[in-house]
Chain A
Amino acid sequence: MTKEELWEAVLAQIKFKISKANFATWFRNTEIIDKKGNAIIISVPNAFSKEWLEQKYNKFILKILHNLDREIKEVKYVISHGQPKKQETEDLSVSDIVPDQLELEEYKINKLTNINPRYTFENFVVGPFNEMAHAAATAVTKNPGRIYNPLFIYGGVGLGKTHLLQAIGNKIIEDFPEKTVRYIPAERFISGIVNSIRNHDIESFKLEYQKVDVLIIDDIQFLAGKEKTQEEFFHLFNSLYERDKQIVLSSDRPPKAIPSLEERLRSRFEGGMIADIGLPDYETRLAILKTKIKQKGTNLPEKILSFIASNIKNNIRELEGALNRLVAYQKLNNKTPTLEVAQSLLKNLIQGPKKVITAKQLIKTVAEFYDLKEKDLLAPSRKKEVVKPRQIVMYLLREELKYSYPAIGRKLGGKDHTTIIYGCEKISKELEKNESLAEELRLIRQRIVSG
């Protein structure tokens, strides 16, 4: 019989002998933690339970245990540590605290790990767009260093990369307190290297990072073009990786798309798990708004929330910005904004980006993305490397700006509308089977909206 079974058997018998209230009070959170020779050691949650079990029920418990296992002659009680009971009481102060009230440094960011405890998995809203990244992140926290090493998360601006990264850190700190976790934005990592080179103590800088068990670096794309930093990072990466230390990285684009990144680093980034965070769908945006508003301790009518969710599509941070604006209005004027007020308050947030997209900009963005000149796209060249981007331009003009086929033809240097129809259809067909094309389009779209 295992310890658990033995104790269950004891509890089952005791249950019939004493009142429900006594049972619930004195036997809650008790368990057998050890058996030493003839003695059984029972852990109890507090001193009161210890006294009570020792003085009132000891004979009783011993008798049952002895009947179950003839060897047992003695029962000892110890007060257990480590699991302080968590009371789920209503947080009284929160409603009184203004969202802009600053917190004392110590409680905001852990100086050693650089992690803000506010970012947790609990307040991370999961939707189809980030399901994969979230699943990979949780898997990493369960077994840091063993699976998915390195974990590479990429996605556009303001979609929750940093939140996810810090949540990984927080979770690991919580579950594995003995592990050293370090979160650092790439920018700071670079300036750290630069400083230590200047002070001639690059060795101590390296040593400091060699010691960590979990290294989280945000916005790794900033490493692009910094050769010395890439070299140092390469060695650090290898030394951590060899010793099964977890590495988590984030970037605004996949490793392949980071320009001037050394090949050996790129291949290492791709060696673990790459997960992307896409754009949230309407339902998720609404869910995010509801979570945020709950955190702020106020309320806004459903109508307004769905208005925000259906109009701000590309950036969770903007979503929060819009919400903040309305909450501030509500507080200053002491009344809930109506839909009309919300529309006028959020006018520049919502209509801004829509106006900005023009055919010219779209062409420019596509050209930049494929490293071509704008005029190549407009010229009648039939080179393969130009034809595909040109067709993508056609497709996007049709899909995003709803241009007519002849209009697109005119924009692209007087092409026939049948050429355009062919081009658009070719891309939409291709999209169904070609994953990497879909990925490219997604990135281009993101660049277009983020200007």
Chain B
Amino acid sequence: MKLSILKDELQAGLNAITRITSKSITLPILNNILIACEKNFLKLASTDLEIGIKYWILAKTEKEGAITVPAKFFANLINLIPDQKIDLEEKNNILYIETKNYKSQIKGISADDFPIIPQIKSNKILEIKAKTLSEGLSQIIDTASPSQTRPEISGISFSVSKNIVEMAATDSFRLAEKKIILPKESSIPETSVILLQKAAREIINIFGEDTKRIKIYFSPNQVMFESEMNEVKHPHIQLISRLIEGEYPNYKEIIPSSFKTQIVLSRQDFLNQIKTASLFSGKINEIKIKANPEQEIVEVYAQNPDLGQNKSRIKAKVRGQKAEVCFNHRFLTAGLSNIKTKEVIFGLNGEEDPAVLKPLDDESFIYVVMPIKSS
């Protein structure tokens, strides 16, 4: 293998693919990335056997071939090299890196031992704006359950129906749902899959700044996200991930459609007051929200026998019943930070039923959160 490449482009590629490499004891090669020279491209690839990422860069190639090298080590080296043009050459499983002022050699492992990243053959293809998808995912991803005890809710529900894409995540204490309206109806039949949380995170990282459209290929147990190169008609990045088997809970039913108390208030002020109260809430994370429709006021209250107590108030439009409900402040801040509008609707349904946070005049995002039973 022999080729020349621009440092910035190589660095961008490494940034995209190295995050999923893992320290695997059973298969040390998973710690490595694949560097291959194919026709006019340099191909980079990495995998953890659940997700695989391939990345192509146009390069001046002289000889085809491939090698694998330790991911983090190689990326660190490239980051530190100031020179723009980099020559890469492989001989006897050693990677020679040469620039104007630097000469390095890295011991690699033969590319033959690198796992083959499966190809997806599917004509169920959805096109979507990369940035819209990433932004939507980032609004809900942290709500997914970190535990593997129930695999289906550890993932992200992703369903397409006509021109609506619905994404949802829950950890059984709260639920976030994001809707994206496509400009035109998708050509694929109704599809529902459960994405790995990790895959969703990589999508946000890799395609977050991409202003173009990407293609999503669905197959029965895998999914592929693909972006195309600007210059030529060739894939630029492909992310292939396994899907979580099983059925996502029918969450629509638990989203309350009406509220006993409806509050409209400034998102930033509310967030600040919750953060202040959280300082006093101690280990149990409990804060109390009181809403009074007569005074048009919401009170945020927290106390802790060791620290003291704190009470703050905020002007709000309150309709319906008087309410006093306790929440885990982390759940409220998480919901509020994923809302982008200036004002939010906070719907309460008494002390033991689900509450809702959603942006004012925007139906695309909804966050359901369960209270803490007040003692």
Asked if A21 and B115 sit within 8 Å, CB to CB, the answer is: no
Query: Contacts A81-B245, A102-B352, A103-B173 given: A51-B254 contact, CB under 8 Å?
Result: no
Q: Which residues of A are found within 8 Å of B372, using beta-carbon distances? A: 98, 100-102
B118 touches A47 (CB 8 A): yes
Q: In the assembled complex, how far is the CB of residue B372 from the closest CB belonging to chain A, in whole angstroms?
A: 5
Knowing A21-B26, A106-B254, say if A334 contacts B305 (CB, 8 Å). yes
Q: How far is the CA of A81 from the CA of B247 in the complex (A)?
A: 13
B283 close to A331 (CB less than 8 A): yes
* CB neighbours of A334 from chain B (8 A): 282-283, 304-306
Contacts of B117 in A (CB 8 A): 48, 51
Return the CB mask of A57-93 against B: 1 if under 8 Å, else 0: 0000000000000000000000101101011110111
Pick the contact of A104: B118, B328, B354, B374 (CB < 8 A): B354
A224 at the interface (CB under 8 A from B): no
A 94-118 contacts with B by CB, 8 A: 94, 96-98, 100-107
Q: At the interface, yes or no: A46 with Cβ under 8 Å from chain B? A: yes
Binary per-residue interface labels of chain B (318-347) against chain A in the complex, 1 for a CB within 8 Å, 0 otherwise:
000000000010100000000000000000
Partner of A100, one of B49, B246, B375: B375
Asked if B171 is at the interface of the complex by the 8 Å CB criterion, the answer is yes
Q: Looking at the assembled complex, report how far the CB atom of A82 sits from the nearest CB atom of chain B, in whole angstroms.
A: 7
**Contact assessment for B330 and A96 in the assembled complex, using a CB-CB cutoff below 8 Å:** yes
Interfacial chain B residues near A51, Cβ < 8 Å: 115-118
Chain A residues with CB below 8 A from B221, complex form: 46-47, 79, 81
Judge if A328 is at the interface, Cβ distance under 8 Å.
yes
Picked from A84, A93, A94, A105, the residue with its CB within 8 Å of the CB of B354 is: A105
A56 to chain B, nearest CB (A): 8
A86 partner, pick from B148, B171, B173, beta carbons under 8 A: B148
Known A21-B28, A46-B49, A333-B305: A103·B172 in contact at CB below 8 Å: yes
- Among residues of B, the one whose C-beta sits closest to the C-beta of A93 is B146
Task: Indicate whether A22 reaches chain B with its CB closer than 8 angstroms.
Answer: yes
Asked if B183 is an interface residue, CB under 8 A from chain A, the answer is no
Chain A contributes a number of interface residues (CB within 8 A of B) equal to: 40
Q: In the bound complex, do residue B306 and residue A102 qualify as a contact, i.e. CB atoms below 8 Å apart?
A: no
Is A182 in the interface zone, CB < 8 Å from B? no
B145 touches A93 (CB 8 A): yes
Q: Mark B86-120, 1 if CB is under 8 A from A, else 0.
A: 00000000000000000000000000010111100
B146 pairs with A92, CB closer than 8 A: yes
CA distance A22 to B28 in the complex (A): 10
Highest count of chain B CB atoms <10 Å: which of A47, A55, A92, A94: A47
Q: Name the contact of B148 in the complex, choosing from A50, A88, A332 (C-beta under 8 A).
A: A88
Interface size bracket, B side: 35 or more
User: Is A370's CB within 8 Å of the partner chain B?
Assistant: no
Question: When the two chains form their complex, are residues A98 and B253 in contact, meaning their CB atoms are under 8 A apart?
Answer: no
Report Cα–Cα, A107/B172, bound state, in Å: 6
Whether A84 touches B151, Cβ cut-off 8 Å, given contacts A93-B146, A101-B173, A102-B352, is yes
Measured CB to CB, the closest approach of chain A to B300, in angstroms, equals 18
Q: Please give, as numbers and ranges, the residues of chain A lying within 8 Å of B69 by CB-CB distance.
A: none
Measured between beta carbons, the chain A residues less than 8 angstroms from B305 are 332-334
Task: Say yes or no for B147: interface residue by CB 8 A criterion.
Answer: yes
For residue A79, which residues in chain B have a CB less than 8 angstroms away from its CB? 221
Q: How far is the CB of B35 from chain A (nearest CB, A)?
A: 19
Residues of chain B within 8 A of A55, CB atoms compared: 116
**Given A46-B242, A84-B245, A91-B147: A101 in contact with B116 (beta carbons within 8 A):** no
Q: How far is A86 from B151 in the complex, measured between Cα atoms in Å? A: 8
Smallest CB-CB separation from B285: which chain A residue?
A98
A81 to B243 alpha-carbon distance, docked (Å): 11
Whether B118 contacts A24 by the Cβ 8 Å rule is no
Within 342-387 of A, Cβ neighbours of B (below 8 Å) are at none
Contact with A along B357-375 (1 / 0, CB 8 A): 0000000000010111111
Question: A25: CB under 8 A from chain B?
Answer: yes
**Smallest Cβ distance from B297 to chain A, in angstroms?**
25
Interface check A52, CB cutoff 8 A: yes
**Cα distance A105–B171 in the bound complex, in angstroms:** 12
Interface positions of B from 163 to 207, Cβ below 8 Å from A: 170-175
Which residue of the partner chain A has the closest CB to B112?
Answer: A56
Q: CA–CA, A26 to B188, complex, Å?
A: 34
Which residues between 110 and 152 of chain A lie within 8 Å of chain B, taking CB atoms?
Answer: none
Quick one: closest B residue to A101, CB to CB?
B372
Nearest Cβ in chain B — how far from A86, in angstroms? Answer: 7
Q: Give the residue name and chain of the B residue nearest to A48 (CB).
A: B49
Q: In whole Å, how far is B365's beta carbon from the nearest beta carbon of chain A?
A: 17
Do residues B250 and A106 form an inter-chain contact, with CB atoms below 8 A?
yes
Contact (A22, B151) CB under 8 Å given A334-B305, A334-B306: no
Chain A residues within 8 Å of B148, by CB: 86-89
Task: Check B27 for interface membership: any CB of A closer than 8 A.
Answer: yes
Tell me if B286 is interfacial: C-beta within 8 Å of chain A.
yes
Q: B174 contacts A104, CB within 8 Å?
A: yes
Of the residues B115, B171, B175, contact of A93 by C-beta under 8 Å: B171
CB distance from B36 to the nearest CB of A (A): 15
* 25 intermolecular pairs with C-beta atoms under 8 Å apart: A21-B26, A24-B27, A25-B26, A46-B50, A46-B221, A46-B242, A48-B118, A52-B115, A52-B116, A55-B116, A79-B221, A82-B245, A92-B146, A97-B328, A98-B285, A98-B372, A100-B375, A102-B370, A102-B371, A102-B373, A104-B173, A106-B249, A106-B250, A106-B253, A107-B249
Q: B-side interface residues toward A, CB under 8 Å?
A: 26-28, 47, 49-50, 52, 113, 115-118, 145-149, 151, 153, 170-175, 221-222, 242, 244-246, 249-251, 253-254, 282-286, 304-306, 328, 330, 352, 354, 368, 370-375
Given A47-B221, A84-B245, A101-B373: 8 more A-B contacts, CB < 8 Å:
A21-B26, A21-B27, A55-B116, A89-B147, A93-B147, A96-B330, A97-B173, A106-B249
Closest 5 A/B residue pairs (Cβ): A47-B118, A51-B116, A100-B373, A107-B172, A102-B370
